[in-house]
Amino acid sequence: MGVKIVDTSLRDGHQSLLATRLRVEDVLPVAEMLDKAGYHALEVWGGAVFDSCIRFLDEDPWERLRLIRKACPNTKLQMLFRGQNILGYRHYSDELVELFVKKSLENGIDIIRVFDALNDLRNLKCAVDSTKKYKGHCQIALSYTTSPVHTIEYFVNLAKEVEQMGADSICIKDMAGVLLPSDAYELVSKIKQAISIPLELHTHCTGGIAEMTLMKAIEAGVDIVDTALSPLSGGTSQPCTEALVYSLQGTQYDTGLDVAVLKKAAEKLTATKDRFLAEGGLNPKALTVNPSILKYQVPGGMLSNLMSQLKSQGAMDKYDEVLREVPRVRKDLGYPPLVTPLSQMVGTQAVMNVITGERYKLSPKEVKDYLLGNYGKAPAEINPEVRAKIVGDAVCITHRPADDIAPEFEAMKEKYASIVKCDEDVLTCALFENVAVKFLEKRNAPETSEENEVIEFNVVIG
Ligand code: CO
């Protein structure tokens, strides 16, 4: 058996390189071709896709999913799901999590990749149980990072627990692209020894090491790897699918993918990418290798966020200082992995610390919530002085945060009865309330939406 491939170009690829702006009409012809290539799965849906659809593209994300499903009758479709955060940025009630899982599967998803930013398994339980209840494939992703507590042993133990929880497969999710080749070899070897379900690797090319890391992981026995079709590969995205297919051809790891089909799909996607390049929708910086992330361990997406925050404050000269502050904040906060929503919290706190000139003089509300336990358990001990400075002697909860959240669905349904047409619409409102309401109102009144669409489109490309 060779190595299986999951294509990410229609989710992470355009999320990493094109600010998640691929429209469904760009996606469908490519999806239709990729469906014939022999992939293990296509990753096509997730939080950023959903958010971008309603915020920028005026597209119903559920309809987008149904159309992709129709275009891909032969290949499994995969989505990324933030555990109790679903596709949003806060914790939601169990009943919303369950219904979102059910509706995702009903509308066309086969594999749900679920993760928690803190690897707090209590935050995954509801999504995992629901995926199994509605007969989806449940993949649990381990948020990879390095720190004094995030050792190889930590991840091997986590993998064992996750298998026990009922995962159908496990993914090492290296969102920052900081997994070194030799560490990948050891990590994959040891996890494979400890579990009996398939193991997948997801990494990013940001630091320039991803192809080497994939190869070492493959030699260590990883079952599935994530790659992106050439036009949306490299830079802050995943390694190139075609290059890996050629590299492994004729070896025991042969992927079996049809290169003629890949070539045709890549031509189609290249035309789309060229349009984005011409219109300024692809920042060439995103394509450049940035090895400094290996030092600061800051994911690519977070770097561009930090830059735009500093630019808006007229403080770009503080960029290096902020980069150095990020690991210090992360340490003070108990080494959270830098993935949504923790990457935004740590980044914003680092910017505030530098700009105010006094560490933790100001803190975002989300950081306060995190210190009160409202996102789950921190991986390591939180600096007690920092905690005291931010939240005083307020009591930190130790139970599962969602235990405090009452059912929300019926109230949402009632509140927006005039604009929601189905349960999917209610879920859209529940996750992205203000943006969702604007989107649904526009969608429901097509005669005005056309005009608005043109304006919005000009803003995006302008
Ligand atoms: Co990713």
- Report the pLDDT value the prediction gives residue 424, as an integer from 0 to 100: 98
**How far away, in angstroms, is 397 Cα from ligand 1 center?**
30
| 58-63-64-66 Cα dihedral, nearest 10 degrees | 180
Query: pTM for the complete prediction?
Result: 0.93
**How far away, in angstroms, is 227 Cα from ligand 1 center?**
10
**How far away, in angstroms, is 204 Cα from ligand 1 center?**
6
**How far away, in angstroms, is 203 Cα from ligand 1 center?**
6
- Report the pLDDT value the prediction gives residue 300, as an integer from 0 to 100: 67
**How far away, in angstroms, is 400 Cα from ligand 1 center?**
26
341 preceded by a cis bond (ω within 30 of 0)? yes
- Report the pLDDT value the prediction gives residue 303, as an integer from 0 to 100: 76
Instruction: Measure Cα distances from 460 to 26, 258, 320, 456 in Å.
Output: 16, 35, 29, 6
Would you give per-residue pLDDT tens digits along the chain (462 residues)? Answer: 799 999 999 999 999 899 899 999 999 999 999 999 999 999 999 999 999 999 999 999 999 999 999 999 999 999 999 999 999 988 999 999 999 999 999 999 999 999 999 999 999 999 999 999 999 999 999 999 999 999 999 999 999 999 999 999 999 999 999 999 999 999 999 999 999 999 999 999 999 999 999 999 999 999 999 999 999 999 999 999 999 999 999 999 999 999 999 999 999 999 999 999 999 888 887 888 988 888 877 776 677 778 888 888 899 899 889 989 999 999 999 999 998 889 999 999 999 999 999 999 999 999 999 999 999 999 999 999 999 999 999 999 999 999 999 999 999 999 999 999 999 999 999 999 999 999 999 999 866 544 444 433 333 333
- Closest to 172 measured CA to CA, from 133, 211, 132, 213: 213
**How far away, in angstroms, is 73 Cα from ligand 1 center?**
25
**How far away, in angstroms, is 175 Cα from ligand 1 center?**
5
**How far away, in angstroms, is 236 Cα from ligand 1 center?**
9
- Report the pLDDT value the prediction gives residue 461, as an integer from 0 to 100: 32
Length of the chain: 462
**How far away, in angstroms, is 98 Cα from ligand 1 center?**
24
**How far away, in angstroms, is 301 Cα from ligand 1 center?**
10
Q: What number of H helices and E strands is found in the chain? A: 21, 8
- Report the pLDDT value the prediction gives residue 339, as an integer from 0 to 100: 87
